[in-house]
Amino acid sequence: MTRPAPSETISPIETADATAAAAAGARSAPILTFRDGELFRDGVPHRVLSGSIHYFRVHPELWRDRLERLAALGLNTIDTYIAWNFHQRGVGPADFSGWRDVERFIALAGELGFDVIVRPGPYICAEWDNGGLPSWLTGVPGLRPRSSDERYMAAVEEWFDELIPRLAALQADRGGPIVAVQLENEFGSYGDDAGYLRRLRDGLVARSVTELLYTADGPTELMLDGGTLPGVLATATFGSRAREAAELLRSRRDGEPFLCAEYWNGWFDHWGEHHHVREPRGSVGVIDEILEVGGSVSIYMAHGGTNFGLWSGANHDGRVLQPTVTSYDSDAPVSEHGAITEKGRMLRQRLEAFTGVVAPEVPEERPVLTARRLPTAPGAALLPALRAAGGSEASVTVAPASFEQLGLDAGLVLYEAAPILPNGTSTLSMRGLHDRAQVWVDGRFIGVVDTSSAAAGVELIGHGERVRLEILVENQGRINYGPLLGQGKGILGAVQIDRRIVQGWRSRPIALADWSASELEAAAMAGAPGVAGEVVEPGAAGFRISTFEIEAVADTFLALPGFAKGFVWVNGFLLGRHWEIGPQITLYVPAPLLRPGANTVTVLELERAGDALELRDVPELGPEEEYIESFD
């Protein structure tokens, strides 16, 4: 899409140091400017009507479909975070190919007529694993993320060297769709290192970012004091009380336009909680309020998508870890599987009335497979499979190795030691467990502990002899928000039998997210029935495999009745986690993951397997509480 020539209007706010801007070859004004509290686009009064969508949560073959559905809502802008760890899982060059081709996603949005706002972080939160920061970085001992720590900033600079020139080339002043770039993300909710924010700003400008820069923070004095910079537009994130937010920002930043950078019209879910929903009329009513006070808005999320693989993050309430579910539907106007919801239809009507522009037609609903039951065949038993997958060459260390020491960002670690159990009853306890552990002694399952129960431990019965102690630790998602950001995974302290510390451990990393289709098949059949090894009992933990035939691909929703907890692959692609505690019941399977003819579903069940899987024709994201009025 050809973009209009840049406006001559000069913003009263300096977006960066003039010397740095000149050195970068920047022009004097971005396409979005403002004066006297009003926003302009190329010199014309303008409202940003944006919706959040994340390329990393949508299968790339569905990017166009989802963007077309957002266009049908009447939006004129889309915004996306950029997840650093999605592009650079290990030390070395970042990956911008295939699913990670963010330039193609942005260009596609431009082709469809959208302006684009990019949010490159480097921290993004987004309920995404580790808030988007790579675990190989946050695992460096003593490193302080989101600060002026020189080791952290050196890595950020290298990342920006790879990322920012790609974005700069897609800015409006070069004919591209990018009209604004966010500086960090809600930093005022975390810290007050203004020097860190200045270095990020200067780093963006030095790499030729010329469009509007802005910060986004909660609408409180505390958060705005910590997260804003003079000379950079300050915006707010909230779920209600738009007038109060507008008044606060205008009282602090005279002459700046009011922009809600995230309007939380829905919310995400944690495992073990209710599914969050928000009443459509009240949700759209807050957008009315934002527009009535002269503001612009970005709806978070307009389309949430899915935390495929092991990318879902976690929160911590000060007592327990709160891992996020696989779905990121977020009660958005465009649902996880692309349906325009009642909220979406109301939003479309409201924006058409506000702008006087008829939105594009709503695309037809996507086809869905007919519901069916899928019998499963047993694969490998859990322990033999994981022993084989973890390899037999693990070195012995005094203490259990953390995920970070093993170079593992997600998945499982199988720990093994050979302590002597005293005669009678003793207690096995752990300090520093992150996040969930299953315990076996001589192949006999003992129990499950998590971060909050590991110190109390489990009881063992010994006979004064050495035993084979095995502990399987699952990383349930890295914390994405708050002071515990960057916390390590695995057993970070000690394992004890009563007072005595267990020493001498083999630590086997099991990189589920890295398995190829052939590696998955090999793991699923290691010691399976018909192969030398252990026989899998009905209902036992381990692999289960199901195949089914289809004539044409379509979306579907996978349910796992009778299964307890584990991981699911479709045709070798790691779909995500499942857990019987809910609220999520079905996992969304987008059509591009399927193929005409034979398809395979593989389940790695950690606790208890059911008899069959189910393909359903409607999603079930779990029991809902009564409609929630706001998510502040």
Tokens 């994405």, located at residue: 480
Asked if residues 249 and 234 have their Cβ atoms less than 8 Å apart, the reply is yes
DSSP single-letter state for residue 629: S
Q: Crossing angle, helix 342-355 and helix 280-292, to 10 degrees?
A: 20
Distance CA 321, CA 478 (A): 9
Tokens representing residue 490 in the block:
């695995």
Q: Exactly one of 127, 184, 262, 470 is catalytic; name it.
A: 262
CA dihedral defined by 264, 13, 180, 206, rounded to 10 degrees? Answer: -130
d(CA 52, CA 179): 15
Q: Which member of 127, 184, 186, 534 is catalytic? A: 186
* Residue in the structure block whose two tokens are 């939380």: 264
Tabulate helix, strand, coil % of the chain (nearest 5). Answer: 25, 30, 45
Could you write out the DSSP letters of every residue in 370-401? PPEEEE-EEEEEHHHHHHHHH-S-PPEESSPP
Catalytic, 292? Answer: no
Task: Examine the residue annotation and report whether 186 is marked as an active-site residue of this protein.
Answer: yes
User: What residues are paired with 599 via a beta bridge?
Assistant: 548
Query: What single-letter DSSP state applies at residue 256?
Result: P
Coil, strand or helix at 512: helix
| Contact yes or no for 185/123 (Cβ under 8 A) | yes
Please, where are the H alpha helices in 81-220? 84-87, 102-111, 135-138, 150-168, 194-206
Residue 60: cis peptide before it, omega within 30 degrees of 0? no
Dihedral angle sign, alpha carbons of residues 460, 464, 468, 469: positive
Q: 67-70 — which CB contacts under 8 Å span 24+ positions?
A: 67/108, 67/109, 67/112, 67/114, 68/112, 68/360, 68/363, 69/303, 69/334, 69/338, 69/340, 69/362, 69/363, 70/114, 70/302, 70/303, 70/334
* Cβ pair 488, 402 in contact under 8 A: yes
Tell me how far CA of residue 623 lies from CA of 277, 564, 584, in angstroms: 10, 18, 8
Structure tokens at 302: 């307009």
Find tokens 């899915």 and name the residue: 306
Query: Can you read off the two tokens belonging to residue 326?
Result: 């696989």
Largest CA distance in the chain: 84
Between CA 16 and CA 25 the distance in angstroms is: 13
Element holding 289 (H helix, E strand): helix 280-292
Whole-angstrom distance, CA of residue 395 vs CA of residue 397: 7
So which residues are the catalytic ones? 186, 262
